Amino acid sequence: MNPSALIIITLSLITLLSRLLPFLLFDRKKPSPYIHYMGKTLPYALMGMLVVYALKDTSFASNYWAIPEVAAVSLVIITYQLKKNTFVSILSGTLLYMYLIQVVF
């Protein structure tokens, strides 16, 4: 058999197993406190990690003093406070950032 085919089959089985394993390990009738805890805390932790990752290369010593990044993050915060809609706030911040990067700076 072709080595590439073996790699694809192996990775497909591992992916299938990783998707199927939680349904086999956890009982649907009795909620797990671990899963409940992860469901409450993981979204906030992931958002924090995404913010850190997005801003990790921001330099305040550059020519523009990180004005596009600060403006976009500020717009996201303000829009979310006003609209309480994650999609609208992230979309508006992304559009502002891309406009500032492509047109203004």
Work out the average pLDDT over 79-96: 95
Band of pLDDT at residue 75, cut at 50, 70 and 90: very high
- Check residue 29 and give its pLDDT: 81
The per-residue pLDDT for range 31-68, each reduced to its tens digit, is 788 888 988 999 999 989 999 998 998 888 887 888 99
Range 14-41 burial, b when 16+ CB lie within 10 A, else e:
eeeeeeeeeeeeeeeeeeeeeeeeeeee
